[in-house]
Structure 1
């Protein structure tokens, strides 16, 4: 089944795009820090490192490119 994208970037104003870009940038920063911390903990404990997908980093980057 194909997924439809309810997000239509063409319908966004410049102000909307700026707000979304700032929000995604802040989210990416926070999630990146959380990922780095989780990696350090995993390494220190000899565990498998978490996947970046667990923190949604690829999704955030993909959305950033869309807007």
Structure 2
């Protein structure tokens, strides 16, 4: 197996980019919903609000910008 990065943006076709963009958009939507729910639960219980990093939201956004 090659050690090169198979997801290097320059090696992706436009179809590949579209599929990845749609997948990342769906993942961001689901993770954002989960984060919002976790914030509500924490607030209701008087607990500390979770961090967006706990749901990898910054990484998903970064990947979306790269694609």
TM-score (norm 2): 0.91
The corresponding residue for 2:29 is 29
Q: Which structure 2 segments of 5+ residues have no match?
A: none
Show structure 1 runs of 5+ residues with no match.
none
Q: CA deviation at 1:54?
A: 0.3
Q: 2:50 maps to which residue?
A: 50
Structure 1 stretches of 4+ with a deviation exceeding 4 A read: none
Cα RMSD for the two superposed structures: 1.1
Q: Normalised by the size of structure 1, how large is the TM-score?
A: 0.91
Which residue does 2:15 correspond to in 1?
15
Count of residue pairs brought into register by the alignment: 63
